[in-house]
Chains A and B, each alone.
Chain A
């Protein structure tokens, strides 16, 4: 038997519970502003890793209606293929009836992930199932008073929240700064620059930032991520980069300027300590290069800043969490 040590460090995502069907079957899902579809594993799934998750038993739900349609979704860290069905979905007290959702038939890349499926909160035009996303369905069914939702992501294991229908001001301090979307249809805004210690290190002359609650890191173009890593004096180890944990307190913040307002992310937020006491930089290079410089600002950023997603006015609000 050959053994190979695997070096792991703990990254994080935020999950919440929903139920699907009648009687309700409960699932843990990631509430993801980067995608638009709801899907969960199903008993139809043939992939080995499906059995380690809760699987939807469509034959046990009296409100389930099949739709003869297949679809596939590819995420940054995994992919799934499935069929589309409709059923009653409950998120807390919110009930979305006849909600289209995906039942996975094949999935990969979600091995060992501590959640069952994904609940997409992006615009309908980005749906792969072709069905109406759950937030649009709730809005159309009059289940929510205002077409907004918001995230507070805590550093602690508990206490985080996604709120629908309004904004609870107790979760942020100072002003809520609104940023218009580049265009309605994606939670993407214009960013002015990324700087460290007053020096611009990326996003010269402006770029795009995709605000993504389903992504744990901050992701950017490889060349620019490497530049930031060099600026920090990070050393490569495999495909990751690390610094001495004792140096973390001396590292500068990474400052994201959006709509003229500076949003610093301190070193304590963009580093992760692994089990052996090494501190990894939680920045990732995007393997896909696009003509437009795009940064995905995920949980690393959103744990610092309370974020509001306003479908009524096509804008994002950011405030100190």
Chain B
């Protein structure tokens, strides 16, 4: 009656905290610019 679900080990690239913050800040700014340049009502 046991249901086995196979799992896959996947690697993630871990970054130092300061680098993580830099990346997050970049993504926030980048996303903001994308919103600014997209037309209203678009996806």
Q: Do the two chains belong together in a single complex?
A: yes
Q: Is the interface of A mostly helix, strand, loop or mixed?
A: loop
Cβ contact within 8 Å between B1 and A109: no
Q: Which of A137-189 contact B (CB under 8 A)?
A: 144-146, 151, 153-168
Cβ of A16 and Cβ of B7 under 8 Å apart? yes
The reply on A260 being an interface residue by CB < 8 A is: no
Q: Binding site of B, secondary structure by majority: helix, strand, loop or mixed? A: mixed
What is the CA–CA distance of A166 and B1 in the complex, to the nearest angstrom? 7
B22 CB → nearest A CB, Å:
8
Chain A residues near B17 (CB, 8 Å)? 238-239
Do B6 and A160 touch (CB < 8 A)? yes
Known: A48-B30, A164-B2, A165-B2. A16 touches B8 (CB 8 A): yes
Let me know if A168 and B4 touch, CB within 8 A: yes
**Could you say which of B10, B13, B19 contacts A115, with CB atoms under 8 Å apart?**
B10
The answer to whether B12 touches A113, judged by C-beta atoms less than 8 angstroms apart, is: yes
Does B11 reach chain A (CB closer than 8 Å)?
A: yes
Contact A13 B19 (CB under 8 A): no
Question: With A144-B3, A163-B5 in contact, do A7 and B12 touch (Cβ < 8 Å)?
Answer: no
* CB-based contact A161/B4 at 8 Å: yes
Contact between chains at B5 and A162 (CB < 8 Å): yes
Say how far B2's CB is from chain A's closest CB, in angstroms.
Answer: 4
Q: Determine if A161 and B31 form an interchain contact, defined as CB atoms under 8 angstroms apart.
A: no
- Cβ of B33 to closest chain A Cβ, rounded Å: 10
Asked if A8 contacts B13 (CB within 8 A), the reply is yes
Roughly how many angstroms separate A111 CA and B18 CA in the complex, as a whole number? 16
Q: Are B8 and A112 in contact (CB under 8 A)?
A: no
**B interface residues (Cβ-Cβ under 8 A, vs A):** 1-19, 22-24, 27-28, 30-31, 34
- In the assembled complex, 5 residue pairs joining A and B whose CB atoms fall closer than 8 Å, in A order, are A15-B10, A91-B3, A158-B9, A165-B2, A239-B16
Beyond A7-B15, A8-B14, 5 extra complex contacts between A and B, CB < 8 Å: A14-B10, A48-B30, A108-B27, A163-B3, A239-B16
